């Protein structure tokens, strides 16, 4: 969340900045609630002070064997008023927290102001689009002879938007994951294996709740209220929920593999068939905790680690600095890394690296301490490193040959016992 002190101080400037990201943002409602809460707290404190003074006076009268009944009635009346105020405050504070939590993170300085993703800024391009001497197939068509995935059986098991991997499809997927994990470990990231279901507090801490409630899968009964993670960012952020680091412990560079679960499948159009948009996909996630002065350098380091995966696979990609209106809710700065998919005739994101500054840390109360100074909020950063489903599509569609085979990138050979090519069966 944003700091309410910042909102009080720079309301107009901050509102203008936030509206570059979301034109519907208004700060007046949260400030009105904040003012009402502060007035009620002041009133409650005055009443409690009066009650304490009367209680002392009652004690004096009782010690002197004097009648204190009228004072006791006043104390009882004050108690009722205080109880009413406390109930009202509790309700207002819940509303205030919800209102504050609905405000997105503010974009950093230097981010291009636009609501149109077409205005995203290309900051890097690697390799060239392949020029085919034959009519290339998309990955769904290639799968008809390669038999890497089974979409009908995924639908039979769980419904539309779910896929099963089989034979060399499953092995190639696993090889990609192993390659990415090894790469990030070599780049200094510490690997974690995390739960795939999390408590609501963890979703709130990462910025998924309350805004994205309808996009999440959850388990809710008399024993559990848990959410399936849409990304392991949620759990990695939760590792240090309500903790205080020593400054010397930072930065922390974490990485985790997990399946990701999202209610986003079913986008219209044949262009998004197959693996392009599914309910469950695999992803290796990077997540870092830093001091504020370390976060920008860490952002560049994470972006390089993500790009190095694609460099090793020799696929054409571009890195795009997102405009204000295309960034995620919690991000202050984001670069998307997009691969070219010939079968779709367009670029698709396979990694999104974001600096969330202290936005998630304020929700999660994750802090650090410089020697004897007061604890400060950390900065958090996250980045896909990478999501495999679209990356699999990129490998298949860009490396297909006229005879129907697909050349496997050399960096994956060691994970496949030397297999170098996918062949129709």
pLDDT exceeds 90 at position 72: no
pLDDT digits (tens, 9 = 90+) for 48-67: 888 888 888 888 777 887 78
pLDDT for res 4: 97
Mean pLDDT, residues 166-173 taken together: 97
Report the DSSP pairing between strands 367-369 and 376-377: antiparallel
**Which of 211, 248, 244 is CA-nearest to residue 230?**
211
pLDDT band at 269 (very low <50, low <70, confident <90, very high): very low
> What is the rounded average pLDDT for all residues in the chain?
94
pLDDT digits (tens, 9 = 90+) for 401-422: 999 999 999 999 999 999 999 9
Residue partners of 80: CB distance under 8 A and separation at least 6:
none
Task: Give the Å distances, CA to CA, from 270 to 92, 152, 267, 379.
Answer: 48, 16, 9, 40
pLDDT band at 125 (very low <50, low <70, confident <90, very high): very high
Query: What's the CA gap between 301 and 294, in Å, rounded?
Result: 11
* DSSP letter (8 states) at residue 255: E
**Which of 268, 273, 280, 318 is CA-nearest to residue 138?**
273
pLDDT band at 268 (very low <50, low <70, confident <90, very high): very low
pLDDT digits (tens, 9 = 90+) for 92-118: 999 999 999 999 999 999 999 999 999
Query: What's the CA gap between 140 and 396, in Å, rounded?
Result: 10
Stated pTM of the model: 0.92
pLDDT exceeds 70 at position 334: yes
Domains located in the chain, CATH noted = 28-101 (1.10.287.40), 117-422 (3.30.930.10)
pLDDT for res 425: 87
């Amino acid at each position: 969340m944003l700091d309410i002190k910042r909102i009080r101080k720079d309301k107009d400037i901050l509102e203008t900045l936030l509206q570059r990201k979301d034109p519907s943002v208004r700060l007046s409602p949260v400030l009105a609630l904040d003012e009402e809460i502060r007035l009620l707290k002041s009133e409650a404190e005055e009443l409690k002070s009066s009650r304490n003074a009367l209680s002392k006076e009652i004690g004096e009268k009782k010690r002197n064997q004097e009648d204190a009944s009228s004072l006791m009635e006043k104390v009882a009346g004050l108690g009722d008023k205080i109880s009413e105020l406390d109930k009202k405050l509790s309700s207002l504070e819940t509303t205030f927290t919800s209102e504050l939590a609905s405000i997105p993170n503010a974009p950093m300085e230097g981010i291009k102001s636009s609501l149109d993703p077409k205005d995203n800024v290309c900051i890097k391009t690697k390799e060239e689009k392949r020029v085919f001497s034959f009519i290339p197939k998309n990955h769904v068509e290639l799968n008809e002879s390669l038999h890497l995935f089974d979409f009908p059986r995924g639908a039979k098991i769980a419904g539309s938007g779910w896929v099963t991997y089989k034979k060399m499809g499953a092995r190639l997927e696993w090889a990609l994951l192993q390659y990415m994990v090894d790469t990030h470990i070599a780049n200094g990231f510490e690997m974690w294996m995390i739960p795939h279901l999390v408590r609501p507090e963890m979703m709130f801490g990462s910025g998924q709740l309350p805004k994205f409630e309808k996009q999440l899968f959850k388990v809710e009964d008399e024993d559990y209220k848990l959410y399936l993670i849409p990304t392991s960012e949620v759990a990695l952020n939760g590792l240090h929920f309500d903790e205080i680091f020593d400054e010397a412990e930072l930065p922390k560079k974490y990485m985790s593999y997990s399946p990701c679960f999202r209610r986003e499948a079913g986008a219209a159009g044949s262009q998004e068939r197959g693996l392009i948009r599914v309910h469950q996909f695999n992803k290796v996630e990077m997540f870092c905790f830093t001091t504020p002065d370390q976060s920008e350098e860490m952002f560049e380091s994470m972006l390089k680690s993500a790009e190095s995966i694609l460099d090793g696979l020799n696929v054409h990609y571009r890195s795009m600095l997102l405009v204000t209106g295309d960034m995620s809710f919690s991000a202050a700065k984001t670069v998307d890394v997009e691969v070219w998919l010939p079968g779709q005739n367009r670029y698709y994101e396979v990694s999104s690296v974001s600096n969330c500054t202290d936005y998630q840390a304020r929700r999660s109360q994750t802090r650090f301490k410089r020697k004897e100074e007061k604890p400060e909020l950390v900065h958090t950063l996250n980045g896909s490193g990478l999501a495999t489903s679209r990356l699999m599509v990129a490998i298949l569609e860009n490396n297909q040959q006229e005879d129907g085979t697909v050349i496997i990138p050399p960096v994956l050979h060691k994970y496949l016992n030397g297999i170098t090519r996918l062949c129709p069966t």
